[in-house]
């Protein structure tokens, strides 16, 4: 239910039905709050621990040579998946300071592989996109600084087949439903699709349902990550 400015003014002019207006507002708030709770519940009902996910996918809990990773990053998982796949072609959406980027590049360097990352340009913010990527890894990396809807088709033109992808940018339902099929179609058979924060909405669930895919879901420090093997 949408509470518009017009309807708010309409109710404000009618003190006799303020209670009705209050009910409408409460319902709208409830709807907004309930949606994420629902997708969180779905994730919780399917989630395993990160250790179990790693055991299932790479046969051990693994290690990552990149030091000082923050708790919120999936760097350990991403590095080990890239190593397990012996990946040489990876696309990720969403870089920020570049923790996931650095983990991917550390693995790709072992095979002279390549990572293409996308992120929106943001010259006025305190964070430099990819500032954690050291100089010696830069040669394996290409950053396209545009929103996904422009950058992803470009990335896929440059790298039409991929071994792995990591979706960690636009967290809206529409953003995910735009990018997921593009990435999935480019993924080679046996490749691995990873999406972070899948409890934001039902996009990951719907994508898997629509294609009849069986995802793995793991609880991370605060959220849920979804993984699909093609
Ligand atoms: C959670 S951060 C990425 C973190 C990174 N993957 C890591 O693990 O270190 C999300 C990033 O997505 C970017 N982003 C958000 N919406 C986007 C869009 N529509 N297109 C491209 N990038 C977007 C933000 O600028 C931000 O840097």
Q: Whose CA is nearest to atom 1 of ligand 1?
A: 168
Whether residue 124 is predicted with pLDDT greater than 60 in this model: the reply is: no
Q: What is the pLDDT of residues 132-151, one digit of tens each?
A: 999 999 999 999 999 999 99
Point out the ligand 1 atom lying closest to the alpha carbon of residue 75.
Answer: 8
Alpha carbons 165 and 119: distance in angstroms, whole number: 14
Domain assignments of the chain as residue spans, ordered by start: 5-42, 49-229
pLDDT (0 to 100) of residue 1: 46
Cα–ligand 1 centroid distance for 5 (angstroms): 32
Residues having CB closer than 6 A to ligand 1 are 73, 93-96, 99-100, 118-120, 147-148, 168-170, 175
Among the CATH numbers 2.40.50.140, 3.40.50.720, 3.40.50.150, 2.60.120.10, which is that of 49-229? 3.40.50.150
Count Cβ atoms below 10 Å from residue 44 Cβ, excluding itself: 12
| Residue 112 phi, psi (nearest 5) | 55, 40
Per the structure block, which two tokens stand in for 10? 């309409």
In the reported structure, the alpha carbon of residue 168 is separated from the centroid of ligand 1 by a whole-number distance in angstroms of 6
Separation of alpha carbons 196 and 175, rounded Å: 13
Least confident of 1-10, 190-199, 207-216: 1-10
Q: What is the pTM of this model?
A: 0.86
Q: 5 - beta bridge partners?
A: none
């Amino acid at each position: 239910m949408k509470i518009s400015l017009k309807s708010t003014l309409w109710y404000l002019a009618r003190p006799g039905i303020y209670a009705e207006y209050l009910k409408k507002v409460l319902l709208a708030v409830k709807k907004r709050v309930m949606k994420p709770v629902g997708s969180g519940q779905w994730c919780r009902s399917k989630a395993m621990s990160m250790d179990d996910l790693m055991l299932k996918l790479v046969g051990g809990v693994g290690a990552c040579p990149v030091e000082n990773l923050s708790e919120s990053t999936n760097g350990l998982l991403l590095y080990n998946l890239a190593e397990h796949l012996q990946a040489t072609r990876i696309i990720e959406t969403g870089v920020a300071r570049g923790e996931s980027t650095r983990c991917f590049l550390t693995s790709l360097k072992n095979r002279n592989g390549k990572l293409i990352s996308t992120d929106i340009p943001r010259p006025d913010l305190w964070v430099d996109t990819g500032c954690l990527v050291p100089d010696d890894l830069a040669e394996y990396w290409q950053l396209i600084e545009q929103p996904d809807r422009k950058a992803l088709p470009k990335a896929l033109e440059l790298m039409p087949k991929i071994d792995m992808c990591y979706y960690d940018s636009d967290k809206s339902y529409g953003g995910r439903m735009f990018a997921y099929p593009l990435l999935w179609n480019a993924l080679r058979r046996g490749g691995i699709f990873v999406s972070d924060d899948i409890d934001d909405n039902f996009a990951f669930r719907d994508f898997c349902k629509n294609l009849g895919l069986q995802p793995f879901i793991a609880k991370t420090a605060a959220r849920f990550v979804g993984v699909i093997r093609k």
